[in-house]
Amino acid sequence: MTGEWLTQAIQAVLVLACAPLLTGVTRKIRARLLRRRGASVIQPYRDLLKLIRKEAVVAENASWLFRVAPYVMFASTWVAAALVPTFATGLTFSAAADLIVIVALLGTARFLLALAGLDVGTSFGGIGSSREMMFASLAEPAMLMAVFTLSLFAGSTQLSSISTYMLGPDAGLSISIALALIALVIVAIGENARIPVDNPATHLELTMVHEAMILEYSGRHLAVIETAASVKLLLYLSLIACVFVPWGTAVSGAGLLAYTIGVVAYAAKLAVLGFLLVVFETAIAKMRVFRVPDFLGVALMLGLLGTMLLFVSRVSR
Amino acid sequence: MSQLATNCVGLLLLLAAVAIPLSRLRFGSHLVYGACTLVCAVLAGSALLVLLAPGLQPGVIELPVGLPLGRTLLGLDPLSAAFAVIINVATTIVSAYAIGYGAHSREPQRIVPFYPAFIAGMNLVLLAQDAFSFLVGWEFMSLASWALVVSEDRSADNRYAGLVYLIMASAGALTLLLAFGLLAGPAGGYTFVEIRSAVAPHIGSIVLILALIGAGSKAGLVPLHAWLPLAHPAAPSHVSALMSGVMTKVAVYGFVRIVFDLAGPPLWWWSVPVLVVAAATALLGVLYALMEHDLKRLLAYHTVENIGIIFIGLGLALAFEANGFRTAAALALTAAIFHVFNHSLFKSLLFLGAGAILNASGERDMEKLGGLIHRMPVTALAFLAGCMAISALPPFNGFVSEWLTFQAILISPELPQWIPRLLVPAVGATLACSAALAAACFVKAFGMTFLGRARSTAAATAHETDYWSRGAMLLFAALCLLAGILPGFVIDSLAPVTQMLAGARLESQATQPWLRIVPIDVHRSAYNGLLVFAMISIAAAATAAVVRRFASHALRRSPAWDCGFPEPSPATQYTAGSFAQPIRRVFGGVVFRAREHVVMPKPGDNAVARLRVDLHDTIWEALYVPVIRAVNGAADRLNKMQFLTIRKYLTIVFVALVMLLVIVGVWR
């Protein structure tokens, strides 16, 4: 019991502490692939430090929502990330929330951020919110369908149960799982504002989605939002790692060695997934906004196909 | 308890009569609404007692009135008690709101007498234990609400809404009459007890279709929803709240009562039409809502979506029950009725918020609102809670019922039949899609109304509403949160209903550690709303504390940045139309046959360029317009009969007589 609490606490701190590092690493790899030297991998930490030391400039007509939204949206993202097993399963709170809840918590964060984008009443905020919600209207069901596929496959919506099932002997290769993986990867790209859906480094306002929404933010509020964005990227990669490459994850009650292996394996998985993400990103061009629904629609259809196959192939008892 | 509830309904009817003279007095409407609040609270309390105290025999009241040689049976069983709680909780709070809000109406005598009558009608439907009083209550409810819809009859839109509503309500009541006629059978036993004992097996299927049309048209199932977005917004806002949040639930009750209780054991294919219609309703409802700029119409369309979600649960329950999966049926039923409860809370809340806005600014059009969060902070907070709840976001209540519906979907691969098995994943995807679109819809609703800069002087000079209204909205918001973080209590109170309808109940959630809910098995799925809420609160508070401790405290107010080109005119903000434009482009091409035309002036011409968007209400055009045309055509033909000579009339009478005689002769 104490072990579970400890794991949960370490996990919650770990995701928060590592998230900016992951962002830094992906930026570094991206720069190297583009034959630039790139900033140090700890640059995101320095950025955050600089941001929280600066004064916050808030638009005159911003309401309380504008100032509260970053914290609540960060909190929901963080809670969601703390519930995804990273280096060990058997978290205390794993029975509090299943995979559907994690998707919905990200929905809460998105809802608040989209509202914050509308709060000041500028056209850029509006464009960001509107497009974000349009993407979400396809990305969220796509993710849910991927979740359904996994849940039907493993017979549970609990992440720890799914992860354990995937490690066990019953889990074979399955087309549905492959479809769910593709769907989840597409959703991860779309939801984290990566190329080809959005460009996190853009300076062309009309191509921005996420950045347009948070255009009015500065100082500590921006720092909180940026951290939340990093945590969200970490969450998606952890989720893919936890479900599709669960090897090395320590099970609850294992010895110290298992936990050490778990941490190392987790770091390796994140590094590989981050690398793949960046390679994909550099190899592809940004899409036109109205091509994105097709891209995300593919994810939705693949997720639906995966679920449908499982529904059909299930032998009734 | 049944006696108490019956007395309360009688009291409400009496109140309706007393209200006619009272409403002309200065504080008369306050008195009537206050009395409604009390009576509904008593009704809710007594129904809750029936639901929670299993040993209590509520009994059945016999009234010596009714059909010739008949009597009227009234009583509460678990099903009607559950719905009575749901309906009367919302009605109590709405009536309290009306104490403040009703004072603003210009002609209270056109509203106040019908209000208690409307509530009495709804409660009569729930109390009815025989078909006759059920239908009487149903018609009472329809007519009273019709009177409330046309209470503001100066606007042609409202008169039109009243006409459409009256026609649809009559058609719905007719199909229900037929359904009960079939159920009662040739013996004519029209009490529910007699119907249950003497059910003919082959009748059930026809009854299902009739109930789907009759109750579905009242609830707002696509394509019978056409009256709903016209009529619900036309009424005064507290009545809109009742019609959308509460009356549609009575319709759901009617469907559940007829199909699950009276129509006998279900066949497996019953679930198919229900699921198809429900999924279409959920998706189309939210898409219609997204295209709407009028706040109250948006909310009304959104009711259509939620009815779809409820019927998805009911359809799944039918499929499970037909195959003898009792626990799964109990889960799906719990999900559906939980959503009924949730929707009654947040839809009422949102309509009350719309009423407060309408009262403060005189505007329902979102294109003319904006920035109200500064001038109506309490309304904004309550409305935000409602928006988050209806968008199915944790930790609010809407999420719990959708989560339960998803859990029910995830057990349906066990179904042996192929058609539901292929259908259910598609239904699941539709449900997921409509949930995500609902979030977009309510970002739009809240963002355009409360955030940004005021788009008109009416919005810029709005003021906060009265104490009663604020209190009522905050109470609804608190209930939305409470039902979201303590869902186990709601699920446990619904156990007698599932026991009655599906013959099984979910495991008691009260015994679960940490107040979590576990529908089937903890290794399969669990949710703990309280813990999620606590974790979010703690994480947010901790972050705020850390930021406060280590970050700079300086805060400077300055003009908006807007990439260096801030535009002072509020017209440059995103509007409701522009917010929905991407979604219209993605989904609207098929559903609404949306087309955009850019009208460009010739080079050198200084005229403005214009963007015209054509949207079609495809369902109305495909289904209703031909019917209207046919009726009008037939009426035109028949109109000629009015101007015949007496000789021709006599000929017609003679021919008719001969034909009747021939028919009688052949019949013999």
Domain boundaries of chain B, sorted by first residue: 618-667
Count of CB atoms situated within 10 Å of the CB of B503: 13
What does the pLDDT look like over B604-622, one tens digit per residue? 888 888 888 888 888 888 9
Chain B interface includes A134 (CB < 8 A): yes
Q: What distance in Å separates residue B466's CA from the closest CA in chain A?
A: 22
- What is the rounded CA–CA span in Å between residue B497 and residue A250? 44
- Mean pLDDT across B649-664: 94
Contact between chains at A63 and B558 (C-beta distance less than 8 A): no
This model of the complex carries an ipTM of 0.94
- Mean pLDDT across B215-228: 92
Per-window interface: A 12-51 vs B, CB < 8 A: none
Contact between chains at A122 and B560 (C-beta distance less than 8 A): yes
Local confidence band at B92 (pLDDT 50, 70, 90 cut-offs): very high
Q: What distance in Å separates residue A155's CA from the closest CA in chain B?
A: 7
pLDDT score recorded for residue A313: 80
DSSP-derived 3-state class of residue B263: coil
Chain A residues in contact with B554 (beta carbon < 8 A): 55-56, 219
Supply φ then ψ for residue B599, to 5 degrees.
-95, 105
Q: Comparing C-alpha atoms, which of A153, A186, A180, A14 is closest to residue A83?
A: A14
Flag whether pLDDT at A237 surpasses 80: yes
Nearest to A101 among B371, B523, B527 (CB): B527
Contact between chains at A133 and B555 (C-beta distance less than 8 A): no
Chain A interface includes B582 (CB < 8 A): yes
Contact between chains at B416 and A293 (C-beta distance less than 8 A): no
Do B517 and B527 contact (CB within 8 A), yes or no?
yes
DSSP H helices, B517-624, are 529-550, 576-583, 589-591, 618-619
pLDDT score recorded for residue A204: 65
Count of CB atoms situated within 10 Å of the CB of B644: 12
Q: Comparing C-alpha atoms, which of A200, A147, A243 is closest to residue B432?
A: A147
pLDDT score recorded for residue A207: 67
pLDDT score recorded for residue A314: 67
Nearest to A56 among B412, B555, B585 (CB): B555
pLDDT score recorded for residue B567: 80
Chain B interface includes A157 (CB < 8 A): yes
Min mean pLDDT across A225-234, B35-44, B637-646 is at B637-646
pLDDT score recorded for residue B515: 79
What does the pLDDT look like over A273-298, one tens digit per residue? 999 999 998 898 888 888 899 999 99
Chain A interface includes B156 (CB < 8 A): no
Chain B interface includes A137 (CB < 8 A): yes
Chain A residues in contact with B389 (beta carbon < 8 A): none
Contact between chains at A126 and B574 (C-beta distance less than 8 A): yes
Do B268 and B412 contact (CB within 8 A), yes or no?
no
Contact between chains at B573 and A310 (C-beta distance less than 8 A): no
Contact between chains at A303 and B412 (C-beta distance less than 8 A): no
Per-window interface: B 444-503 vs A, CB < 8 A: 444, 446-448, 451-453
Chain B CA closest to residue A12: B539
Local confidence band at B109 (pLDDT 50, 70, 90 cut-offs): confident
Min mean pLDDT across A84-93, A200-209, B349-358, B502-511 is at A200-209
pLDDT score recorded for residue B296: 94
Local confidence band at A186 (pLDDT 50, 70, 90 cut-offs): very high
Nearest to B574 among A97, A123, A136 (CB): A123
What does the pLDDT look like over B529-561, one tens digit per residue? 999 999 999 999 999 999 999 988 889 998 888
Q: Is A65 or B511 the better-scoring residue by pLDDT? A: A65
What single letter denotes the amino acid at residue A96? A
Contact between chains at B557 and A307 (C-beta distance less than 8 A): no
Contact between chains at B566 and A293 (C-beta distance less than 8 A): no
Summary mean pLDDT of chain A: 89
pLDDT score recorded for residue B642: 84
- Residue B392: exposed, middle, or buried by beta-carbon count in 10 A (0-12, 13-18, 19+)? buried
Cβ neighbours for B450, distance < 8 A, ≥ 6 positions apart = B369, B370, B371, B372, B373, B376, B380, B383, B384
Q: Is B451 or A314 the better-scoring residue by pLDDT? A: B451
Q: List B61's β-bridge partners, or say none.
A: B74
Contact between chains at B374 and A60 (C-beta distance less than 8 A): no
Chain B residues in contact with A101 (beta carbon < 8 A): 394, 399, 403, 527, 532
**Six token digits for residue A54:** 């600066």
Q: What distance in Å separates residue A285's CA from the closest CA in chain B?
A: 21
**Six token digits for residue A312:** 């059909």
- Mean pLDDT across A219-225: 94
